[in-house]
Structure 1
């Protein structure tokens, strides 16, 4: 697991939240968390394979 912490920016006018993530970085499940989507997918695949 790779730890990546991202800068979260909130627009003061409209309240939209944006996160700058490089194309080669893992997208976090929740902003500013250490668990990425690829890790969560691997956990789910392992869980399903364990049930089969």
Structure 2
């Protein structure tokens, strides 16, 4: 069982949502995972098991 009230975990989740919002503005049909993949591409990280980006 995960501790959803764990402050570091919640802080990390909120940060991921803020980062994803940058991509959702331009691609409202993308999933959260697609936004996270786009973040990785933007910072030059390789994708190993990504959703389809278009």
Q: TM-score range by the shorter chain?
A: 0.3 to 0.5
Greater strand percent: which structure?
1
Q: Greater CA radius of gyration, 1 or 2?
A: 1
TM-score, normalised with respect to structure 2: 0.33
TM-score, normalised with respect to structure 1: 0.34
Greater helix percent: which structure?
2
